[in-house]
Amino acid sequence: MRTMRSAERSQVAEPSVAGAPRRRRTRPRDDRRAAWIFLVPALAGFVIFYGYPTVRGFWYSLTDYNLLTAPAYVGGDNYAQLVRDPQFWHSIAVTAYYVLINIGSQLLLALLLAALMHRLTRSVVLRAMLLLPWLVPNVTVALVWIWLLDAELGFVNHVLRALGLGTIGFFMSPDWAMPTIAMVNTWAYTGYTALLLYAGMLQIPPHLYESAAIDGAGELRMFRSITLPMLRPVLALVLVVSLIGSFQIFDTVAVADRGGGGAGSAVRVIYYFIYQQAFQYFHMGYASAAALMLAFVLGVLTVVQMRLLRASRSDLA
């Protein structure tokens, strides 16, 4: 990253030195035009599928809109109501709880797996197998686990009962439901996260490990003093991306809480709240306001993380 930055700087600074015609002739043509051409497809997609809906969503958030009749402008009413809505804050808290468990367990497990793959085996088969749960659609994952963990008919509770332990209402108990859903998604995404981290680890020059080994460092020490610091930018990126993904938890909850018959408010995350407001209660304006609040919160979180982890600087450069 740093190298790119300095390249940028020299380009920006260029006009002042570029007065000499000779220089200009030998220099290849400005890349910016080509860069824009390459960016156009992605940019067009971004504008059409993200930019435009966001602007529209912002407009809806200022209106009273039930999807069926024309939106009526109400100014900041939706936001004022949202700030006073205990359901909204409850859903934020529930989501934060989920993210904490999900990201915490997922990142730790993925780091462990990646380190094992990096230092012990580089089997392609193993790597491919790690990805399997990630390839299964979320709804299927949720359904499989609902069957496995069912309080009456599930395999896991059958084993628990056979062992003389009490059964657990994994998806129905308000205390267990959120951790259960978080762990189900950890199961589904750990392999993928581990692969990203593994790819990051491959970038670390092997000679660092060699010299550390010569100096008599053990694996744990090498992990702490070489792998972790060198991995920081990748780790930061993975953290930001999976955190945003984690905040967007919806499908597992929607399946587990099918028909509102599950653990109810204990698992009603922010995306579910938005979905309910928009498509079950037909409060599109209110839902848009909630969605924008969420986007704002995620933006702030991302900036904070990038800053804290100095994610745009690498120690490898």
Partner 1 sequence: MNTTKRAGHALLSLALAGALAACGSGGQTQDGASGGDVTIDYWLWDDNQQASYQACADAFHTANPNVTVKITQTAWDQYWQNLTTQFTTGQAPDVWTNHVSYYPQFIGSGQVLDVQPFVTRDKVDLTQYQEGLPDLWVKDGKRFGLPKDWDTVALVYNTSMLGEQGVKADEMAGLTWNPSDGGTLQQVIAKLTVDESGRNGLDPAFDKNRVKVYGFLPEWADGSQGQNGWGDLAVANGWTYLDKNPWGTQYKYDDPRLAQTIDWYRQLIDKGYAPKFDKQSTLGRDAVLNAGKGAMTFAGSWTINSFLGPDAKEKFALAPMPLGPAGVRKTAINGLSDAIFAGTPHKEEAWKWVKFLASADCQNIVADHAVVFPAIKSASDKAAAAHQAKGRDVHVYLDAAKAPGGTFLLPITEHGNEVSQIVQDAIQSIILGQVGAAEGLKQANDQVNALFS
Considering the rule CB under 8 A, would residue 53 count as an interface residue with partner 1? no
Considering the rule CB under 8 A, would residue 51 count as an interface residue with partner 1? no
Stretch that binds partner 1, among 113-121, 129-137, 172-180, 194-202 (CB under 8 A): 172-180
Considering the rule CB under 8 A, would residue 81 count as an interface residue with partner 1? no
Interacting residues with partner 1 between 277 and 306 (CB under 8 A): 279-282
**Options 101, 103, 130, 146; binder of partner 1; rule CB under 8 A:** 146
* Nearest residue (CB) to partner 1, 3 versus 69: 69
Considering the rule CB under 8 A, would residue 94 count as an interface residue with partner 1? no
Considering the rule CB under 8 A, would residue 265 count as an interface residue with partner 1? yes
**Least distance (Å) from partner 1 to the CB of residue 109?**
26
Binding mask 178-197 for partner 1 (x = CB under 8 A): --------------------
**Least distance (Å) from partner 1 to the CB of residue 254?**
9
**Options 49, 73, 147, 155; binder of partner 1; rule CB under 8 A:** 147
Considering the rule CB under 8 A, would residue 229 count as an interface residue with partner 1? no
* Nearest residue (CB) to partner 1, 61 versus 193: 61
Considering the rule CB under 8 A, would residue 67 count as an interface residue with partner 1? yes
With vertex at residue 38, the alpha carbon angle to CA 32 and CA 41, rounded to the nearest 5 degrees, is 135
**Options 66, 305, 312, 314; binder of partner 1; rule CB under 8 A:** 66
* Nearest residue (CB) to partner 1, 140 versus 265: 265
Considering the rule CB under 8 A, would residue 86 count as an interface residue with partner 1? no
DSSP for the chain, written as a single string: -HHHHHHHHHHHHHHHHTT-HHHHHHSPPPSHHHHHHHHHHHHHHHIIIIIHHHHHHHHHHTEE--SSS--EE-TTHHHHHHHT-HHHHHHHHHHHHHHHHHHHHHHHHHHHHHHHHHHT---HHHHHHHHHHHHS-HHHHHHHHHHHT-TTT-HHHHHHHHTTPPP--TTTSTTTHHHHHHHHHHHHHHHHHHHHHHHHHHTS-HHHHHHHHHTT--HHHHIIIIIHHHHHHHHHHHHHHHHHHHHT--HHHHHHTGGG-SSGGGG--HHHHHHIIIIIS--HHHHHHHHHHHHHHHHHHHHHHHHHTTTT--TT-
Considering the rule CB under 8 A, would residue 56 count as an interface residue with partner 1? no
Q: Count other C-beta atoms under 10 Å from residue 86's C-beta.
A: 7
Would you tell me which residues interact with partner 1 (CB under 8 A)? 66-69, 146-147, 150-153, 167-169, 171-176, 256, 258-265, 276, 279-282
